[in-house]
Structure 1
Amino acid sequence: MGAGFVVIFWAIILTPIGFIGGLLLSYVAIPIYYRLFGIAEEKRRIIGFKKFGLSVLFTIVFVPSMCGLGIYLMERDVDNYWESQGAWDFWRMPLEEPYELVMIDTMDQVGISKWKDGSYIVYGIQKYEKRGQLVLGYYERKPFNPDEKGWFLFDCATGKAEEYESEQALEKISAKRGFSPPIQMKTISENWSLYWNNPNRRRK
């Protein structure tokens, strides 16, 4: 999904919400206002068909305003390595500069790539754990290569990834690199929540 598709999707969702909000404003809020302040009927400006027109006008203003706010929130940190959570159809988490974790459309799997590069070093990651400069985990290259699966160790200091056929082999090598057992890998969504909800996460 691209930016245009996302904005159109927002507009489709927001249009009925905006129209309902306009109806509530026209047929509920404004009459209550008139009664509370004792405004005589002959002085009431928004009556009859004007109420429906106001609902339409409210929708016309509400939808692009909310879409604009969404675009701003999406784009405001897009160039900030440590603060950007992604935009539009992808999510991301920083590892150690210049490497990051990138998810496209779903959090079922993630790939390690270089910041602003776009090419993957390791992809299809289902679960992982990061300690210091080291990231290790399990990958499945589905749906394109469902039989291609294994374990990996990525070093943010060198940018090099190593792949292993078994978890035992991974544990043996990682222990030699200072990644002492037990290994506690978590899913992508679990790691996402732990990272972005951590008030002490690195910010620059």
Structure 2
Amino acid sequence: MPYPDKLLADDEEVVRHLHPHWTTLFWPVVRALVVVGAGSYLAALVPPGPQQGSLRLLLLAVALVALAVLVGGPVLRWRTTHHVLTTHRLLSREGVRSRRGRDVALSRVTDVSFRQTLRQRLIRSGTLTVESVGDGGPLVLERVPDVEGTAGLLHHLIEEDEERRAWEPDTVAGGHDESPYSTRRY
């Protein structure tokens, strides 16, 4: 079962699944181009002779290590960072070697705010801060694509969650089914 479906309750649905904004990958791509260009240039400078093959293999090995560290690491961090809005909660997971995660029930959210610099406004990115009841402190999600729309969607989901919980039989005093579709009278 793919992520995040394996984390969902039976009546829970994914509304939006986000990774950090694509601009997070800008510098790793630049580094990849520099490493490949520099490696190719240096490989062309290796003088012909019996050591040429060995020196080029050494350059290739150095370039592959540089690519793994300078490009592979940031790309893996981007790929393994998930922010998932569902009908019941906000899930955040990040990390490659060690994972960090946090789930915030929509019913526990007390405030949603976002912040954007001028540059972030131009590329439609920003920082989303979600305050909730509890000890965990605010959940700060950085480089969220369409942060303003995501904040609005989160507000909408919180309102829908409040309405849904108001009509659930378990949340009504006395345990009676008070849904508008109920035919029982008390």
Both proteins in one fold, TM over 0.5:
no
Range of TM-score over shorter length? under 0.3
**Structure 1 length normalisation: TM-score?**
0.25
Q: Which has the higher contact order (CA 8 A, sep 6+)?
A: 2
